[in-house]
Structure 1
């Protein structure tokens, strides 16, 4: 292998010393992987600038970059210039990937706590929670919810748990104990010594199955939250996201879909459900929502209106509304969908009538 010069060459020192072909030969840039190149640039940026970029990386990506940092070779200033040039060219060409799944993942992570988001995004991943994650679950519980899980624990365990809770929650948990146990807990907290990591792990392992039952009881609300998030997407984005979610499991997907409804789903409703729905929608909202809609959908909606209202809507739709924005149409359609979801939650209509009918009539 040819020996390379490890001396750091400044632009002034290196001027005229190498021909372009020699420079290409000695450049370490061509031996680096994409992750190594990204890591090198982040290091060269310095802490303030790099910190602004790091927030856009996922934890898994940061772990990979950290591993690359330990194995980076010495890089010359001239090589950094080549790296910057390569990244500039890459950005100029643009990236060719769909952002639908990334947008959905970001929404879930920003909306739900870390462990709950992980359960939705990686439902088949059997990960062992650290003690910190277990206490995050406890911190989101009320004293009334937490108390039943602690009643059978040894006072020393309760004391340690109470010592790790936020002040207000700890106080409420303490008050919920019977006087004798309360006194013992306070004394044990006063005498509490630093707890070894192994003991933390044991407590975590013991509490995890109990707390998982508590978090699983909230899974239904997770379905509703995810459905609410997805209902905010337009039809094209939603189709792309739903395709990317095929791996989450048939049961979870079905539970989410059962809570989803968009304006374009109106044909799924029975005639009676459509009559009930549009009886709740203001006339102006109906007119706005129907602008630029599919003709079949317009006909279904018009058939759900009273004769007088139908004539008024038809007259309005026959006159173009030049000043109406696309955002106004989307807001009106979301209002219709939201009203349908509300009626379904009240048990007044069935959002999935067509699918249910097809299942029951299947041979």
Structure 2
């Protein structure tokens, strides 16, 4: 009786690309696999690791075919040229339009940063103000993915009970699925980051006024005079928005006293040589009798001084006042708009 030969079935390749990637990573030398892993995002590493751990035993024939397929595709690529257009075309071949647009926006953004890296530059109070209206679980995801120091500052700015709820969710949180992280990213990008960019868009006159605040007096006068000739309205608006030496009269008593301690009597004496009587009275009135008397004596014995030195001393006081206001140590009342300027 003749024995009939039965042809062997071809090895069954893994159906999913992820499984093929897992086979490839396990088949390569550990050093090569490590180098590949180092170039992947954390979420991709986690996804690929899950696929590798659940792969089970893979026949050598399957491994050979995966490697052969990989080599065949690599051989077909004579030269690889990466570009924004090429990337966008590739993404569009398997992703929906809104997903492609979101990814490309990230790539084209500042240094191609992710939304999580961009959040690192958002003031903690601003971020907390937005997050306090979200679900605690969403906030837990956000705080678990940004820098711990920044998370701590944001957490401190959240309402107490809400903050405790967020901490509880973070303690109980397990591995977050990619689609959930993606939803949070899209929400942050479309609702928060875009609104933040819109609200942070400053008036050009305000920007120029701030720049003019740091100019020396002669340059400031020269530029404003030239601007008045070409655009008087713009020049007037800049002057209105500028914080000048005489604007120190808008400081309250506590602010003046903080400024005095920060700059020292020698600079104050020099700056007051060109100050109005109102500003002199305000500063002297917020010093002790002994310190005020010493300051008057310093001004009297100083004699004639160069205008440039006076202007530099005044600019130092203005700059210091602005820095103290920015850090919240003093408050400058803005009488023009009946608001507080920090």
Same fold (TM over 0.5): no
Give the shorter-chain TM-score range: 0.3 to 0.5
Greater RCO structure (CA 8 Å; 6+ sep)? 1
Q: Return the TM-score normalized by structure 2.
A: 0.38
Larger CA Rg, structure 1 vs 2:
2
Q: Return the TM-score normalized by structure 1.
A: 0.36
